[in-house]
Structure 1
Amino acid sequence: MKILFVTLLAVPLLMLAGCGEKSPGTAAKTEKQIKIPDEFTSEKQIPSVLENELTPEEKAALINQIMPSAANEPTPEEKFVKLRQDAESGDAKAQNGLGVMYYTGEAISKDASGKTLSNDPEKAAAWFHRSAAQGYADAQFNLGLLYANGEGVPKDSAKAVELFKKAADQGNADAQNNLGVMYYSGEGVPNDAAKAKEWFKKAAAQGNADAQANLDAMK
């Protein structure tokens, strides 16, 4: 019989907000037919080949067609300031969201010498702690993942299990799956295949593909 070992799945952190879908629009026309080469551009950029072909007004109009925005829509900086204000006032969801931004590097952070960091798991962990202490399931899962991987906090499998269990009991499918992995591998908790299967089933019932794959691997 071949024994399949299930490793701890690196489940992505739960983002504060998903990426918005852009509605298909009519391509802007210019007087010249310009062949645009393949290149990556961010949401509010236009292909470099057009930079010298359009006037500033035409560029602004084209960008507005690509990524239209409401006149009173806050800027990313304003959104961050509001999120931090809400987090500092004790809003658990905002605290978790701010932690995610520091973990991914979306929020700029600097070390003691003033060097800009690509991401800041320690600051992320601090905000996850605040949110998790209020019982916010997503933060409990995120903090558990940091403890499981030793990012921003000392590696502590038992603490990870504790946090995954709190989030799993609230129905967080990712936490249920990771809790199953911990039971299966015996990390931070005694090995128990039956309990692992139980948690995998709960997560799979919510549509968690990783949990279903783990169940299949156990067969």
Structure 2
Amino acid sequence: MNIRIFTLLALLMLTLAGCGDETPSAKSEADETWKNLPDEITPINELPSVFQQGLSPEEKADLLKKIMPMADDGLSPEERFLKLRQDAEAGDAEAQNALGSLFYSGEAISKDVTGKIMDYDLESAAGWFHRAAEQGHAAAQFNLGLLYAEGQGVPQDSAKAVEWFTKAAEQGNVDAQNNLGVMYLVGEGVPKNIDKAIEWFEKAEKQGNEEARENLKAIRAAGN
């Protein structure tokens, strides 16, 4: 059977390729990270290269406006990034999710306690996704679910992954719907339930999700 779990992160309802692996931290350490995010941060460029793959110039420009909504304000990339962080710290869920995506991809640079520059900061990414997810931001809920599913920046916890995927899926997040279908299909983090899996795959398929369509074909080919 050709069953797939997305290994993608959504940024402002778009998807981007995930990167890297990290040893999961203890839950207490992750919780503490969410309270004490690093102060030393430097943006690399205006539009993270990982977000540009396969996009036309027009699509890149549109994505840049979504990531950095003040792109026409005359600010430098550094000033614009600092404003994004300020918005995130002030509680803006959209900014929190965008900032988490930058930490995940390594486009926002932070230092560890010894002062060493980190390639990417999964714990800070998880912290910002968590803040936005708690406010009901669907893309952040999907992101956080994916981190729990893969044990990146937080302890691996399939049940929590299902919890956050469900919250996002119920708001119409198509990637969460497909992932939730997979979790039900294989019985990971939730009791195995083929009917539930089909239900979520069908919801995602109606939104044009190709992965969900292929998953449904695989289920039907197996006689379910």
The residue number in structure 2 matching 1:22 is 57
Answer yes or no: is 1:9 the counterpart of 2:6.
Answer: yes
Check whether the contact 2:169–2:176 (CA below 8 A) recurs between aligned residues: yes
Q: Work out the CA distance in 1 between the residues paired with 2:152 and 2:203.
A: 27
RMSD, aligned α-carbons: 1.9
Check whether the contact 1:159–1:188 (CA below 8 A) recurs between aligned residues: yes
Question: Cα distance 1:112–1:206, how it changes in 2: closer, same or farther (>3 A)?
Answer: same
Name the TM-score, length of structure 1 as normaliser.
0.73
Q: Deviations over 1:106-141 (max 9, x none)?
A: 101111111111111100000011000101100000
> Which consecutive unaligned segments of at least 5 residues does structure 1 have?
24-69
Compare CA radii of gyration and give the structure with the larger one: 1
Write 1 or 2 for the structure with the bigger share of helix. Answer: 2
**1:13 counterpart letter in structure 2:** L
Q: Work out the CA distance in 2 between the residues paired with 1:72 and 1:201.
A: 43
Q: Deviations over 1:56-81 (max 9, x none)?
A: xxxxxxxxxxxxxx985322212210
Check whether the contact 1:7–1:185 (CA below 8 A) recurs between aligned residues: no
Higher relative contact order (CA 8 A, sep 6+): 2
Which aligned pairs between 1:52-91 and structure 2 lie closer than 5 A? 73-91=74-92
Name the TM-score, length of structure 2 as normaliser.
0.71
The residue number in structure 1 matching 2:175 is 174
Question: Cα distance 1:195–1:133, how it changes in 2: closer, same or farther (>3 A)?
Answer: same
**2:57 counterpart letter in structure 1:** K
Check whether the contact 1:197–1:215 (CA below 8 A) recurs between aligned residues: yes
Q: Work out the CA distance in 2 between the residues paired with 1:137 and 1:14.
A: 9
Which SS does the other structure have where 1:190 is aligned?
coil
> Which consecutive unaligned segments of at least 5 residues does structure 2 have?
13-46, 59-70
